[in-house]
Amino acid sequence: MSHVLTLIADPAKGGLDDSTARLARTALTELGASTTQPDWLAPGVACDIGFDRLNADQAQAAVARALAGRPVDVVAQEAARRRKQVLVADMESTIIRQEMLDELGELVGARDRIAEITARAMNGELDFKAALRERVGLLQGLPATVLTDMIGRVTLMPGAESLIATLRRHGCYCALVSGGFKTFTAHVRGLLGFDEDQANDLEAADGKLTGRPVEPILDKDSKLQALIRICSARQVALDAAMTVGDGANDLPMLQAAGLGVAYHAKPTVAAQARARVDHGDLTALLYIQGYRAGEIVTA
C-alpha cells in the first residue's frame, strides 16, 4: 500500500481497540480506498492501516471525523520514508512540562501576568520577540544564579526518554531548539542525550539579571533556519526530518519538515500543522514512524 494511517492512544490509558480500527477502515473504504487489516504496533495503543487510492489529507480528515470524541490520534502519510533521520524538537510544553519563564515569574510575583503573555504568544496573538522582551523585563534584579537554581523544577513529558533513546539507537540526529533559555536546554540535552541544543540567553551584570535577553533572539525564523542548517550539514532532505512543538513560534519548522507534529498544541498551531498529537505521549512520534513496541527503548 502506498499510504499508511496510524491510530494512537495514550499508553497510560490504552483504549484503542478493534472496533475503533474498524471504524477507521470503514471511513476510508467509504471514500473509495482499499485498505489492509490493522497492523498492531502496540496492542491497545497503536496500529497501522495501509491504504491506497486516497489522498493522505483526505484520509486523515475523514478518519478524524469518524473517531470524533474518542481519545485517539490519527496521522496519515505516505508509507515510504516514514522513518526520519533528523528530529528537531521544541522544549517547553513539548519535551518538558513547564514554561520556564512562567516559573521564573513566580519569583517576582508575576507568574500569572507572564503566563498570560506566554499563552498569547504561543497562540500567535503576540509577536514572539516583543513578548519575550516584556516577560524578561519583569525579571530585572534577580540574581544571575536563579536560572541554575530553577533547574530542579524541570520535569520531562511522558515518553520523552523513550523517544530520544529510541531515535538515537536507530541513527536519528536529535536537536533541541527552544525560544527559552540555554541553561535549561543544556540540562535537558544532558538528561536525554540530544545531539545539540540551541536557545536564548539572559543578559547579566554585577551578578544580577538586567531584564534584557541577549540579542539576537531565537524565534520562529531561527527554528526554521536550525532545521535547514541541520539537514544541510547532514545531507538529509527536509522531507526526511520530523519536527515537534506546541507554539506559534514552532509553525514554520513544523510546516517545512517532512512531518511536523503539533504536540498538545495551542489551537492555532494544531489547526495549521500537518499532524497533531492531542492524546498520546511522546512515544506517539515513534508509532507515527512505524516503530513497534518491542523496538522502543523503555526508560
Task: Judge if 8 and 107 occupy the same domain.
Answer: no
Task: Judge if 57 and 177 occupy the same domain.
Answer: no
Cβ neighbours, 10 Å, residue 151: 13
Task: Judge if 64 and 98 occupy the same domain.
Answer: no
pLDDT tens digits for 32-50?
A: 999 999 999 999 999 999 9
Task: Judge if 162 and 185 occupy the same domain.
Answer: yes
* Structural domain range at position 243: 81-299
- Could you give the CA distance from residue 118 to residue 168 in angstroms, rounded to a whole number? 31
Q: What integer best gives the mean pLDDT of the chain?
A: 97
Q: Which of 234, 224, 233 is nearest to 171 (CA)?
A: 234
- Given a cut of 80, whether residue 245 has pLDDT beyond it is yes
- Could you give the CA distance from residue 231 to residue 240 in angstroms, rounded to a whole number? 9
Q: How many domains does the chain have?
A: 2
Task: Judge if 209 and 279 occupy the same domain.
Answer: yes
Q: Which residues contact 206 (CB under 8 A, 6 or more apart)?
A: none
Q: Are strands 259-263 and 241-245 parallel, antiparallel or unpaired?
A: parallel
Task: Judge if 108 and 56 occupy the same domain.
Answer: no
- Given a cut of 80, whether residue 299 has pLDDT beyond it is no
Instruction: Report the CATH number at residue 37.
Output: 3.30.70.260
Task: Judge if 244 and 176 occupy the same domain.
Answer: yes
Task: Judge if 45 and 146 occupy the same domain.
Answer: no
Task: Judge if 295 and 173 occupy the same domain.
Answer: yes
Domain-ending residue, one of 80, 107, 132: 80
Instruction: Report the CATH number at residue 211.
Output: 3.40.50.1000
Task: Judge if 115 and 33 occupy the same domain.
Answer: no
* pTM more than 0.95: yes
Cell numbers for 54, please give them. Answer: 486516497
pLDDT tens digits for 152-202?
A: 999 999 999 999 999 999 999 999 999 999 999 999 999 999 999 999 999
Per the rule left: phi > 0, alpha: psi between -120 and 50, beta: everything else, 20 is alpha
Q: Which residues contact 229 (CB under 8 A, 6 or more apart)?
A: none
Task: Judge if 16 and 111 occupy the same domain.
Answer: no
Domain-ending residue, one of 50, 80, 110: 80
Percent with pLDDT over 70 in the chain: 100
Task: Judge if 115 and 56 occupy the same domain.
Answer: no
